[in-house]
């Protein structure tokens, strides 16, 4: 009787392994069969994903998605996503993969498969008038700095660097306050500041400091798609090894980052 139960258990394990193997192959097979890779990207986060004058989604991350489609020999379909729906779209199968400025966190790794190595990341920096002459974080001590309510970096800026924080509910309000001179600088994600600085209205402003509080970004696939995840891990490694990430920084007017250089040095 014991041997019978052991045989049944063993058969279950083998069946489970076979099922996992089939499942891991399904994503790539399905993409190739339909001839289209569907990727969720931002459409409101210049220069990482935004709409050009014709309404087409372009940017740093759409270029990464296009490279994946090229490697798979399929067409690319981009689906606009935002922070509140990007993971749900992936889980629901509305997209095959997500490359959408998503920070890599332990909590998110519990619900989607985040690919290693991370392809990019963001830190905290400031937008300030060039004439303000801000040269260091300590130079902000005691000065009014526009912040976003609830941002994780507010505490450190106030406690470590002694900024006099003026919090706003959103970026539009904070940017308006900066323009009106209510703050000497606006502290925000450096990648978003890069996008703002590409607009003519901010030509008199700069992002003068070295970014702090770096958070890596991860592209993601649905949990259990091992074959697809392994393929993307190799692809992300090649992006760093070949200098593709740094090439995209140049293409999209992004200040060269320490992260991209260190990743290139690590994998080349």
- 263 burial (CB, 10 Å; 0-12 / 13-18 / 19+) is buried
* Domain 123-213 in the same topology as domain 2-119+218-267: yes
Tens digits of residue pLDDT in 18-46? 444 444 457 899 999 999 999 999 998 89
Tens digits of residue pLDDT in 132-189? 999 999 999 999 999 998 888 999 999 999 999 999 988 889 999 999 999 999 999 9
> What band does 9 get if pLDDT is binned at 50, 70 and 90?
very low
> What is the rounded distance in angstroms from the CA atom of residue 160 to the CA atom of residue 24?
47
pLDDT at 1: 52
CATH number of 123-213: 3.40.190.10
pLDDT at 25: 52
> What is the rounded distance in angstroms from the CA atom of residue 141 to the CA atom of residue 159?
10
pLDDT at 95: 98
Tens digits of residue pLDDT in 45-76? 899 999 999 999 999 999 999 999 999 999 99
Percent of the chain with pLDDT over 70: 91
How many other CB atoms are found less than 10 A from the CB of residue 243? 17
> What is the rounded distance in angstroms from the CA atom of residue 77 to the CA atom of residue 74?
10
Q: Would you kindly state where each structural domain of the chain is located, as residue ranges? A: 2-119+218-267, 123-213
Average pLDDT score over the chain: 90
- Residue 103: DSSP 8-state: B
CA distances from 141 to 137, 178, 179, 214 (A): 8, 17, 20, 21
Which pairing describes strands 205-206 and 164-168: parallel, antiparallel, or unpaired? Answer: unpaired
Q: How is domain 2-119+218-267 classified at the CATH fold level?
A: D-Maltodextrin-Binding Protein; domain 2 (3.40.190)
pTM: 0.79
């Amino acid at each position: 009787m014991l041997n019978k139960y052991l045989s049944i258990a063993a058969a279950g394990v083998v069946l489970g392994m076979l099922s996992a193997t089939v499942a891991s192959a399904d994503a790539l097979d399905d993409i190739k069969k339909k001839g289209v890779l569907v990727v969720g990207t931002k459409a409101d986060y210049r220069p990482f994903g935004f709409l050009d004058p014709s309404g087409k989604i372009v940017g740093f991350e759409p270029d990464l998605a296009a490279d994946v489609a090229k490697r798979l020999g399929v067409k690319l379909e981009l689906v606009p996503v935002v922070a509140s729906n990007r993971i749900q779209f992936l889980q629901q199968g509305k997209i095959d993969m997500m490359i959408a400025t998503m920070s890599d966190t332990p909590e998110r790794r519990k619900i989607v498969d985040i690919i290693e190595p991370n392809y990019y990341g963001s830190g905290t920096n400031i937008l300030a008038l060039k004439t303000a002459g801000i040269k260091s974080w300590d130079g902000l001590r005691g000065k009014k700095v526009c912040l976003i309510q609830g941002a994780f970096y507010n505490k450190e800026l106030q406690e470590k660097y002694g900024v006099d924080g003026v919090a706003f509910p959103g970026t539009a309000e904070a940017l308006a306050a900066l323009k009106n001179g209510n703050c000497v600088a606006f502290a925000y994600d450096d990648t978003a500041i890069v996008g703002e600085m590409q607009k003519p209205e901010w030509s008199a402003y700069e992002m003068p400091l070295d970014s702090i509080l770096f958070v890596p970004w991860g592209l993601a696939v649905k949990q259990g798609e091992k074959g697809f995840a392994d393929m993307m891990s190799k692809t992300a490694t090649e992006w760093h090894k070949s200098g593709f990430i740094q090439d995209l920084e140049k293409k999209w007017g992004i200040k060269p980052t320490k992260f991209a250089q260190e990743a290139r040095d690590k994998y080349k």
